[in-house]
Amino acid sequence: MRNNFSIIYRREVQSFFSSPVAYITLVVFLLINAWFFTSTFFLINESDLRTLFSVIPIVYIFFVPAITMGLIAKEKNSGTMEFITTLPFTDGEIIVAKYLAALTLLGTALAFTLVHFFTLLVVGNNIDIGALISGYFGLLLVGGAYAAIGTFGSTVTDNQITAFIISFLIIFVLFILDKILIFMPGFLSSILQYLSIDYHLNNISRGVIDSRNLVYFGSLILFFLLVSVRILEMRRWR
Partner 1 sequence: MIEVRNLVKHYGDVKAVQDISFSVKNGEILGFLGPNGAGKTTTLKVITGYLSPTSGNIFVDDYNVIEDSMEIRKMIGYLPEMNPLYHDMEVYGFLEFVARAREIDKNQFRSRLNDVIELCGLKGVVHKNINELSKGYCQRVGLAQAIIHDPKILILDEPTSGLDPNQIAEIRGLIKNLGKEKTVVISSHILQEIQATADRMIIINEGEIVANGTIDELMSDFKGKTRLTLELKNATADSVKKVQSFQDGILLSKYEEKDENVFAVLEYPNSVDPRQDIYKYAVKNKWVILEMSRHKTSLEDVFRNLTIEGGSNNAK
Q: Which residue, 50 or 74, has its beta carbon nearer to partner 1? A: 74
Distance separating alpha carbons of residues 190 and 109, to the nearest angstrom = 34
CB contact at 8 A, 132 and 49: yes
Give residues in contact with partner 1 (CB under 8 A): 3-4, 7, 11, 14-15, 18-19, 78-83, 85-90, 235-238
Reduced to 3 states (helix: H, G, I; strand: E, B; else coil), residue 125 is coil
Q: Which residue, 77 or 104, has its beta carbon nearer to partner 1? A: 77
Q: At closest approach, how far in Å is the CB of 74 from partner 1?
A: 10
Q: At closest approach, how far in Å is the CB of 161 from partner 1?
A: 19
Q: Which residue, 8 or 139, has its beta carbon nearer to partner 1? A: 8
Q: At closest approach, how far in Å is the CB of 106 from partner 1?
A: 20
Judged on CB neighbours under 10 Å (0-12, 13-18, 19+), 35 is exposed
3-state helix, strand, coil in the chain (%, to 5): 85, 0, 15
Q: Which residue, 75 or 198, has its beta carbon nearer to partner 1? A: 75
Distance separating alpha carbons of residues 222 and 89, to the nearest angstrom = 20
Q: Which residue, 68 or 134, has its beta carbon nearer to partner 1? A: 68
Q: At closest approach, how far in Å is the CB of 75 from partner 1?
A: 8
Q: Which residue, 19 or 39, has its beta carbon nearer to partner 1? A: 19
**43-81 burial string, b = 16+ CB within 10 Å, else e?**
eeeeebbebbbbbbbebbbbbbbbbbbbbbbbbbeeeeb
Q: At closest approach, how far in Å is the CB of 97 from partner 1?
A: 11
Q: At closest approach, how far in Å is the CB of 3 from partner 1?
A: 8
Distance separating alpha carbons of residues 170 and 149, to the nearest angstrom = 7
- For residue 90, give the amino acid letter: T
